[in-house]
Structure 1
Amino acid sequence: MSYADELFVKMCRDILDNGTDTKGEKVRPKWEDTNESAYTIKRFGVVNRYDLRKEFPALTLRKTALKSCMDEILWIYQKKSNNVNDLHSHIWDAWADENGSIGTCYGDVVGRKFIYKEEETDQMDYVLRQLKENPYSRRIMTNLYQFEYLHSGALDPCCYSMTYSVTKEPGEERLILNGVLNQRSQDVLAANNWNVCQYAILLMMVAQVNDMIPGELVHVIADAHIYDRHVPVIEELIKREQYPAPKVSLNPEVKDFYKFTTDDLIVEDYQAGEQIKNIPIAV
């Protein structure tokens, strides 16, 4: 069965059984339909590890839209865009202005130029160059949480940093590329596996263009929470039948990070439970 399912069920059960309930406390989120406070059961400091050499970490309890995951990650790190018109899904529409912009956040921050060793670069180009020239560096990362731009962005980034770390195994000629994804806050029902699959795909792409093997993705969540309205949905979801993980790979012909498209994502044998529709979202 899918290891991602096992981790997800264990995490959800732990949050529900051992988490902190914010009901009655002062909280920021509201429900769109009633404008009432959206309370959560939350767990601090959740850490999950996924080894991409063993299987791709997609849930089978319900299907995760992997092509859409990749599309959004390309929007942020490849197109470096902050305009929803460059994205095929409508996930970000609620935060966009009349021109489609979400302001100085996400792709806008990734693409902002800075000087490194007297040369102009941006965050993603810096990562790609360092992995080629200095793969054992401990400074290879992107960081979307830039305080000087928060006031003019539509929202603070949830997944805010990705740190890349290279290792080598005995007998293996190619290097292993690992990543640590740091997330300040996560709506577990709406976004957990979405974010995991996104950054697994990103790790796979970056590894491939550097002739490396994608290794471990470590996901660190400061505040992992289940909204009060989501509790019965989660309770039903984690009791579902589990299936083997799908086989997910990339078109091996692509050697340039900026040439990837969603057509280069190959998904095979993805069996999953019924999709959950109309999940209420707190804003």
Structure 2
Amino acid sequence: MPRHPEYQYLDIIEQLVEKGDRRIDRTKTGTLSMFGAMMRFDLSDGSFPVYTTKRVFWKIAVKEMLWFLTGQTNIQSLLRENVRIWTDWPLDKYRSATGEQISQEKFEARILADDEFALQWGDLGPVYGKQWRRWLDANGQEHDQIATVIQTLKTNPASRRMLFHAWNVAELDQMALHPCHMTYQFHVSEMEGADKSTNLDAPTVRGKLSLLVSQRSCDVGLGNPFNIAQQAALLHMVAQQVDMTPGELIWVGGDVHLYLNHLDYARTILGREPRPFPKLRIARRPASIDDYKIEDFVVTGYDPHPAIDAPVAI
């Protein structure tokens, strides 16, 4: 029987616990770190790699991906969707700047109620979505990397240039957090409808779409379960838009680390057996990549172990 693909994740955590390099990190929390890791997940049968050794709140992860795709950078729109995973950074900035030790709940309520306050304190700078959809070049021209990738997939699926990324050196110092998942590269295999030897670029070609994500820095406890779920959702969306079948999600990590205050989390999930991954079906075909809603994602068969709380390092 094939080994459950979630063991790739558990193997990384086990290696970190047993052999990780103890380091002091940017957050001063401390980590166990390793350099270089890879996981591969086959999505071709509709599988949705939402980890099962703890409950992953996949709707929040997908909502964050949909927010990235809008190109927005303010937490106000996220809070309207009841997504609070980015609040820590602007809240910390507000407290440091004003000296007011406002609670997270009151800060979020003010962001939602006061557009001017949200504009001043809720913006994260030119983070992921800004770079994906509105990359600004030296001449002041904006580039929609997502639209370009989708157009290339439709017209030249054999291209080796179907990628987008968020590491804009000129704007790093303006971002609340430097991009962690940096580069998304697409690849089409099993192409049909063309003579592969002489006519690879025919626009009628369809096939299996795979996605490789390169991540420079990975928090395996909190970040990776969200990242894998939302990247799988993205692959399903793009494949639908270009009339292809989802293939593999391939994830490559650079500095892969476990925060020292997540050791109890790690030991708990290492003692659990993975359960079958759920299936994902997209209920309708939106007109474009811009038109997906969380209600479009129908997930069945998700039966995880209980959730585990773990603190965020900021």
SS at match of 2:171: helix
Q: What's the CA shift string for 1:94-149, capped at 9, x where partnerless? A: 2236422101111111222568xxx9741111111111111111111111010001
Higher Cα Rg, which structure: 2
Identity, in percent, stands at: 31
Q: What's the CA shift string for 1:64-88, capped at 9, x where partnerless? A: 12221111111112x1110111212
Distance 2:299 2:26 in 1: 38
Distance 1:203 1:176 in 2: 11
Aligned to 1:268: 300
Q: What's the CA shift string for 1:147-198, capped at 9, x where partnerless? A: 0011111110111110111111689984111111011111111111110011
Matches within 5 A, 1:1-283: 3-22=4-23, 26-29=24-27, 37-54=28-45, 55-77=47-69, 79-87=70-78, 88=81, 89-96=83-90, 98-99=117-118, 100-112=122-134, 121-168=143-190, 174-277=206-309, 279-283=310-314
**Shift in Å, 1:212:** 0.4
**Shift in Å, 1:90:** 0.8
TM-score, L = length of structure 2: 0.80
Cα distance, 1:241–1:120 mapped onto 2, change above 3 Å: closer
Q: Larger helix proportion, structure 1 or 2?
A: 2
Aligned to 1:33: none
Letter in 1 for 2:71: K
Aligned to 1:34: none
**Shift in Å, 1:272:** 0.8
Distance 1:184 1:193 in 2: 16
Cα distance, 1:104–1:113 mapped onto 2, change above 3 Å: closer
Unaligned 5+ runs, structure 2: 95-116, 195-204
Distance 1:3 1:194 in 2: 19
Question: Is this contact kept in 2: 1:181–1:219, CA < 8 A?
Answer: yes
**Shift in Å, 1:40:** 0.9
Distance 1:42 1:226 in 2: 6
Question: Is this contact kept in 2: 1:39–1:227, CA < 8 A?
Answer: yes
Unaligned 5+ runs, structure 1: 30-36
Distance 2:282 2:253 in 1: 27
Letter in 1 for 2:84: H
**Shift in Å, 1:200:** 0.5
SS at match of 2:250: strand
Distance 1:68 1:2 in 2: 28
- For these two proteins, the number of residue pairs brought into alignment is 268
Distance 2:192 2:149 in 1: 25
TM-score, L = length of structure 1: 0.88
Letter in 2 for 1:86: S
What is the RMSD computed on CA atoms of the aligned residues? 2.2
**Shift in Å, 1:255:** 4.6
Letter in 1 for 2:134: R
**Shift in Å, 1:241:** 3.4
Question: Is this contact kept in 2: 1:4–1:58, CA < 8 A?
Answer: no
